[in-house]
């Protein structure tokens, strides 16, 4: 079966006939859901089933950004709230083992929520380490104020997700924490030296280089490539992400519709794949934009296809035994009911 190296979104709560026909024709590797696609558990389950039906693959990846805090596509009244990443790092500062335990529990609870809906990939954890004065696009999404703290809690969240049958996506590789601009709106340029990047920004990604999937940063690092952001930079992906960081998992672009990127959508997709991304991501469900993205992609093949199969191979066939009621009670007690 020919599969395009793309992850796409849809516009609403149900698939239109046109969307279903388009997805049947182009067969993207996976799909991503946003708040516009979410109403109730039954509705989301029906949508994930319909999306997989269009590509005739029952294990087709369906992604979501369910971090907690301000980045959460699911919420009350049907789904519980989760804290932002920094809340884990601030929890009982004199007890790092407890912080790690609760972070893993948070990941396991997220997986419990998502797997019940047919969602099998969560775009979390954020492994970016902010510096003083950086744009708050990362802010409290970061688990801690140091690379060591981010790496420890990020791994714990990954472990909880994988145990519950959901794949994590480490982001935004090789690091968005120094950015002085929001890449949704502008192109951040980071002028730190390579030594500074290696010691701070790259460190959590190196520690978690065994994870199945990673999402790139739409950020220029002048010490690596003065002209292109990491997403479209061969130097950043091949020399740093694959080389210095040792990441051999599936690399997907961040959303191609973000304003940090230039050129039309066909060129953005083509440039991302030529740089070394295995897949491109387009989120907003705009049919004309998706058509242009597909025109710039290729059939998933070779090493990228192997990485895609290996990533899906990390999905737990039988999730770790879990008492969700007891887990929620323990989680709520740790945060004193703040995120109940």
Structure confidence by residue, pLDDT tens digits, 257-293: 998 899 999 999 999 999 999 999 999 999 999 999 9
- For the entire predicted model, the pTM comes to 0.96
Q: Contact at 8 Å (CB) between 253 and 279?
A: yes
Q: In this model, does residue 93 exceed pLDDT 70?
A: no
pLDDT of residue 54: 98
Tens digit of each residue's pLDDT (9 = 90 or more) over 130-187? 998 888 889 999 999 999 999 999 999 999 999 999 999 999 999 999 988 878 888 9
By C-alpha distance, which of 337, 313, 339 is closest to 61? 313
| 184 given a catalytic annotation | yes
Contacts of 24 (CB under 8 A, 6+ apart): 54, 55
Rg of the chain in Å (alpha carbons)? 19
* Active-site entry in 65, 122, 225, 254: 254
Domain boundaries, the chain: 4-334
pLDDT of residue 22: 98
Q: Contact at 8 Å (CB) between 336 and 279?
A: no
Q: What is the DSSP string of 193-240?
A: -HHHIIIIISHHHHHTTTSSEEEE---EETTT-SSS-GGG-HIIIIII
Six-digit token string for 17: 């006939």
Q: What is the DSSP string of 31-78?
A: EEE-GGG-S-HHHHHHHHHHHHHHHT-TT--EEE-EEETTEES--TTT
**CATH homologous superfamily for the domain 4-334:** Glycoside hydrolase, family 3, N-terminal domain (3.20.20.300)
Six-digit token string for 243: 């080389």
Contacts of 195 (CB under 8 A, 6+ apart): none
Tens digit of each residue's pLDDT (9 = 90 or more) over 187-219? 999 999 999 999 999 999 999 999 999 999 999
Q: In this model, does residue 317 exceed pLDDT 80?
A: yes
* Active-site entry in 25, 184, 210, 264: 184
pLDDT of residue 166: 98
Give every strand in the sheet of 4-8, ordered side by side.
167-168, 121-122, 62-64, 28-33, 4-8, 279-281, 250-255, 213-216, 170-173
pLDDT of residue 95: 79
| Average pLDDT score, the chain | 95
CA 252 to chain centre: 9
């Amino acid at each position: 079966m020919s599969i395009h190296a793309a992850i796409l979104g849809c516009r609403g709560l149900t698939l239109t006939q046109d969307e279903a026909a388009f997805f049947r024709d182009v067969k993207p590797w996976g799909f991503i859901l946003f708040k516009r696609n979410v109403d109730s558990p039954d509705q989301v389950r029906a949508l994930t089933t319909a999306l997989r039906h269009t590509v005739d693959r029952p294990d087709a990846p369906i992604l979501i950004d369910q971090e907690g805090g301000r980045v959460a596509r699911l919420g009350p009244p049907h789904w519980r709230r989760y804290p932002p990443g920094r809340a884990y790092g601030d929890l009982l500062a004199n007890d790092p083992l407890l912080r790690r335990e609760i972070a893993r529990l948070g990941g396991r609870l997220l997986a419990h929520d998502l797997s019940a809906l047919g969602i099998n990939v969560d775009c979390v954890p954020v492994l970016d380490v902010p510096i003083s004065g950086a744009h708050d696009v990362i802010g409290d999404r970061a688990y801690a104020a140091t690379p060591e703290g981010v790496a420890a809690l990020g791994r714990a969240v990954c472990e909880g997700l994988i145990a519950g049958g959901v794949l994590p996506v480490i982001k935004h590789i090789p690091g968005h924490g120094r950015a002085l601009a929001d890449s949704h709106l502008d192109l951040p340029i980071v002028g730190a030296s390579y030594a500074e990047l290696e010691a701070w920004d790259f460190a959590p990604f190196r520690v978690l280089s065994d994870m199945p999937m990673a999402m790139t940063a739409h950020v220029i690092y002048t010490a690596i490539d003065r002209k292109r952001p990491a997403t479209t930079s061969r130097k950043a992906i091949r020399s740093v992400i694959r080389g210095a960081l040792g990441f051999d998992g599936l690399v997907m672009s961040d959303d191609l519709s973000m304003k940090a990127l230039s050129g039309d959508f066909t060129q953005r997709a083509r440039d991302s794949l030529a740089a070394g991304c295995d897949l491109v991501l387009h989120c907003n469900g705009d049919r004309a934009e998706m058509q242009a993205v597909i025109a710039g992609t290729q059939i998933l093949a070779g090493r990228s296809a192997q990485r895609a199969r290996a990533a899906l191979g990390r999905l737990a066939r039988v999730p770790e035994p879990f008492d969700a009621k007891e887990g929620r009670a323990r989680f709520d007690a740790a945060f004193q009911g703040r995120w109940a």
